[in-house]
Amino acid sequence: MSFQIKLQGTDISFVCQPGQTILDAALKSGISLPYSCRKGICGNCAGSVTEGNIQPHGSLPFRHDNCAEGQVLFCGCEPSTDLVIQPTSWKRSEDGAPKTFTARVYRNELAAPDVSVLQLRLPAGKKIKFRAGQYLLIRMEDGSSRSYSMANAPHESDGVTLHIRHVPGGYFSSRVSTLKPGDTLDIELPYGHVDLDEQDNRPVVFVAGGTGFAPVKSILDGLLKKKAQRQLALIWGARDPSGLYMQSAVEKWQKFWPDFQFVPAVNTVPTTSHGNSYFVGRADEALACRFNDLNNHIIYICGSPGMVEAVRQTALSCGASPKDIHTDSFVEGPASQ
């Protein structure tokens, strides 16, 4: 039995199928709600159910520290009756529902000891419409999927570039090094709500951990293509300098935006390196040290859940408004179906 879900204060409604989360039902209907991980980790999809009853979706949590009183995570619950919901924001998806493509491997290169840069091409004549900062799903043979952010800018629409960290024992990442040109992958996109409001010209501080650099690169390359002029900064955290695997991109941004601030934050610096060029410590520590007043700033945080939460708390303590902090948690393992 399917259920009707209505957006409070509107005439808009959509259908939720049995076993489907509120968030997935909205996305399939072309209604874009705030979200990132779809696994109950990031808390971005918090909203209110003003009428009707819900139940947990499998083992996913439907509450989070980001939830205000009375809110739930739309990725972690499903309806048991018709509902009226009140998300923090919504809009008609410009891209419509996510689409599935069979993509071919074009290039596969090792950018760091544990990071592959995988370039995929679509079938001839096909184009992808996505927004900078969004991600895709790679569908696995066992029916599960893995999430990866697009690292290329939206104007590069005949394919996608992914930055994939090799996770020991990872179902897909442990195999990525064996992919060769011509191999095919089934991908579905776009997903995600971490995109930059180009009408908002306030300063932006990006904080990336490891391959959390990928969506940041997409956003900044998109701004570069449009020759946008605004105050920009990037803190990129890694265990050691080898984890900062694409500094040529940073150099390109620094050349176009002379005031672009780049803070490479590493836990250890080799004795052979010029240590003064690095911040030695975690990304959240670098943020507190270099940007101690974040009032009226936009903060974008991309990385592991622990790193994202630490940086979010630091940004709040430095004066950032909760509504101006946007997060993208990179969660290992299968994405929700």
Report the domain count for the chain: 3
pLDDT at 335: 46
Domain of residue 267, residue span: 204-329
| Cα 12 → chain centroid | 27
Per-residue pLDDT reduced to its tens digit, 217-240: 999 999 999 999 999 999 999 999
CA angle 180-183-187, nearest 5°?
A: 120
Residues 75 and 171 in one domain: no
Which string of b and e fits 193-206 if b means at least 16 CB within 10 Å?
A: bbbbeeeeeeebbb
Entry pTM:
0.84
Residue 130 lies in a domain: yes
Residue 155 lies in a domain: yes
Residue 266 lies in a domain: yes
Residue 198 lies in a domain: no
Q: Which residues of the chain fall below pLDDT 50?
A: 275, 334-337
pLDDT at 272: 56
**CA proximity to 8, closest of 51, 58, 61:** 51
pLDDT at 275: 47
C-beta of residue 259 within 8 angstroms of C-beta of residue 204: no
Residues 124 and 146 in one domain: yes
pLDDT at 329: 80
How far is the CA of 1 from the CAs of 5, 23, 285, in angstroms? Answer: 13, 18, 50
**CA proximity to 278, closest of 307, 231, 242:** 242
| Sign of the dihedral defined by the CA atoms of residues 210, 211, 217, 219, in that order | negative
Cα–Cα distance, 171 to 185 (Å, whole number): 14
pLDDT at 49: 97
Last residue of a domain, one of 191, 212, 236: 191
**CA proximity to 156, closest of 183, 184, 120:** 120
Residues 240 and 216 in one domain: yes
Of all residues in the chain, what percent carry a pLDDT higher than 90?
A: 69
